[in-house]
Amino acid sequence: MVISRLYEDYALGEISKEKYKKMTADYEAEQERLKLEIETTEEWVEQRQAMGDDLDAFIALTKKYVDVTELTQTIVNEYIRKIIIYALISLAASADRRWRSSLILLTRWRSPCWQNP
């Protein structure tokens, strides 16, 4: 509709050719920017909905085990998807290379604070 009206103004001589070209280019650039903004917003909404679903599942599981007095294998398996342990070696050129170990717990839920790899 906007482009039609703009062309009509140009055809009637109400705006110059240069102004018509500039306004058309500006309009098209704005449309492209808005499409990208919509895509980004839709992705953000999908991520937040997935986090909400994960949070609901986490809350339900936590309510199930609210009065637990002993941590069992079943409980651990329900909360933790994977445990990765690996060693890192220092890349320092010195002879005093130290080994360090790292522990990564990958939960079954996404967290708004961090992303699971």
pLDDT 10s digits, 31-87: 999 999 999 999 999 888 877 877 888 888 888 888 888 988 888 888 887 777 766
Size (the chain), residues: 117
Mean residue pLDDT of the chain comes to 78
Q: Which residues contact 107 (CB under 8 A, 6 or more apart)?
A: 79, 80, 81, 116
pTM for the model stands at 0.47
| Helix residue ranges, H only, the chain | 2-11, 17-64, 73-79
Instruction: List, in sequence order, every residue forming a beta bridge with 88; answer none if it has no partner.
Output: 100
Q: Which two tokens stand for residue 76?
A: 């651990």
Question: What confidence score (pLDDT) does residue 113 get?
Answer: 46
Averaged pLDDT, 88-112: 56
More confident residue, 98 or 14: 14
Q: Which two tokens stand for residue 100?
A: 């360090």
Q: Which residues contact 50 (CB under 8 A, 6 or more apart)?
A: 110
pLDDT, tens digit (0-9, with 9 covering 90-100), for 73-97: 888 888 887 777 766 555 555 555 5
